[in-house]
Amino acid sequence: MTDLKSAGIGLVVVVVLQASWLGAADTQPPVAPAFNTEISRQETIYQGTGDQAVTGYTVDRGLRDYTYALSTGFDTTLASLGPTDRWMDIGAGKGQAILDYFSPGYESIYPETGARRGRRAQVIAISIEDRRTPLWQQTAASLEVNKLQYLIDRRLEEYPLEDLGKFQVITDVIGGFSYTDNLSRFMEKVLGFLDLYGSFFTLLQDVHSEEGTNRPHYSGAPYLTEFAGADGSELRVCSWLKSISCVEVTCEFTTSWIPPIESYRVRKVCNEVTVPDLLPVHYIAGTPPERRFRLRVPSERRDAVVK
């Protein structure tokens, strides 16, 4: 059984925010001091290295981990990319998955993908912290200019669309999609960077699946990420993704991982993308954090949400 528990919940402190959950909608934004305290704790987790590293904050997942965790078809989609195509990996950590992609043995390791021998896409790694290794530097130096890039110190949401261009494949394996406190804005940026008919592959741990047959993994705890409608009724992650305009979404629940995961493939099929706006109402720092979101009602301005 594949084990994701090393990337599982690492709760720091429980804070109750003044926002309704699965009840009557409350138009008040989260309490600033509590919310900001948790965001600060989360920043500490990101920056931890060596003895200061937080257990469960994994930065060295390889391409096999991506293939096992992401939706069916990820490996063949990646292998089909040619030298003029582009792949962005969000929350890339040490970039091991990308290094595996550029390794001389990629075609032999993944013969079933039909990888184009010797033809690799341009790849950009996005990371808050700089986790590059000597192997990364050696690999980048051996390739043509800008074939392999590693961008640091900014979250995806902070990059203007014109700075990075378009991508045929975007991946996020327990990166920004699992950690952000502004999921609507995150998805807007992902889909803005995604080329028409391109695919975003990502996942979440310990969520209520599309089928609704699973319970929270940890006894007495909620799901790690939870959504609600504007009226407080339950809204599953898969349903929210499918409510985004101009996308086709597939959701796959996998119980062989611990905690179980639901993986998502979001394919962009037109350019008039509209992402339903979510209000963050609960955030507890962790690896990844515990989060709750509610669909925003018209009276709640996006700029009123605590950052």
Distance, CA of 65 to chain centre? 14
Which pair of tokens denotes residue 15? Answer: 């804070």
> Which of 182, 204, 177, 175 minimizes the C-alpha distance to 280?
182
CA–CA separation, 168 vs 83, rounded Å? 12
Q: What is the pLDDT of residue 40?
A: 76
User: For the chain, where are the alpha helices, taking DSSP H only?
Assistant: 32-47, 63-69, 74-79, 96-102, 106-109, 134-142, 161-164, 176-179, 183-193, 237-242
Which residues are CB-neighbours of 25 under 8 A, at least 6 positions away? 230, 231, 232, 294, 297
Regions of the chain where pLDDT drops below 70: 1-33, 35, 42, 45-46, 48-57, 109-118, 299-307
Output the pLDDT for position 257: 87
Q: What span, in angstroms and rounded, lies between the C-alpha atoms of 92 and 90?
A: 5
> Which domains are seen in the chain, by residue range?
5-301 (3.40.50.150)
pLDDT for the residue 185 = 96
Tokens linked to 297: 């009602």
Question: 105: which DSSP letter?
Answer: T
Confidence (pLDDT) at 264: 98
Structure token pair of residue 264: 């998502």
Q: What is the pLDDT of residue 68?
A: 94
What's residue 15's pLDDT? Answer: 34
Residue 57: the pLDDT is 62
Residue 116: the pLDDT is: 54
Sign of CA dihedral 93, 94, 96, 98: positive
Of 55, 142, 56, 40, which is closest to residue 99 (Cα–Cα)? Answer: 142
Return mean pLDDT, the chain: 84
Tell whether the torsion through CA atoms of 307, 57, 105 and 257 is positive or negative.
Answer: negative
| pLDDT tens for each residue of 35-62 | 678 777 867 766 765 544 555 668 889 9
Quote the longest CA-to-CA distance of the chain.
58
Please tell me the distance from the alpha carbon of residue 2 to that of residue 288, in angstroms, as a whole number: 18
Q: Is the dihedral of CA 39, 40, 42, 47 positive or negative?
A: positive
